């Protein structure tokens, strides 16, 4: 039963990542409050991925390797110290871009398998 609950949690989390990536849009790069809000949401989602998504077990070795590398990168970003307190919009934007690129990678490697 634990495996079913864990899998369901992973599905919900990965669906949230897909929704976040699909909804990404332009942000006001001169507004530190807006940048901080987006950064906090993206970092929280990465932390959720790090906590719920386990190492994949599949026969596709290359896809498994990509997923493991991506999960390790997610865990490294999620382990960074909590909220970034700055009004430096350049720094906030840099952090936001790093986290959102990682979410895009999660979406890509955990998306539907390519069919040939």
Residue 114 pLDDT class (50, 70, 90 cuts):
very low
What's the pLDDT tens digit per position in 59-72? Answer: 667 777 888 888 88
77: nearest Cα among 96, 57, 53: 96
pTM: 0.72
CA angle centred on 38, ends 36 and 41, rounded to 5°? 105
Contact 42, 103 (CB under 8 A): yes
What's the pLDDT tens digit per position in 11-53? Answer: 888 899 999 999 998 989 999 999 999 999 999 998 888 888 8
């Amino acid at each position: 039963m634990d495996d079913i609950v864990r899998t369901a949690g992973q599905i919900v989390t990965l669906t949230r990542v897909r929704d976040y990536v699909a909804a990404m849009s332009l942000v006001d790069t001169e507004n530190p409050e807006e940048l901080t809000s987006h950064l906090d949401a993206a970092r929280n989602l990465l932390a959720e991925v790090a906590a719920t998504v386990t190492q994949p077990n599949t026969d596709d070795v290359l896809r498994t390797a990509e997923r493991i590398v991506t999960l390790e990168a997610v865990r490294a970003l999620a382990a960074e110290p909590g909220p970034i307190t700055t009004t430096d919009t350049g720094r906030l934007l840099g952090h936001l871009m790093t986290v959102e690129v990682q979410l895009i990678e999660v979406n890509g490697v955990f998306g539907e398998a390519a069919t040939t």
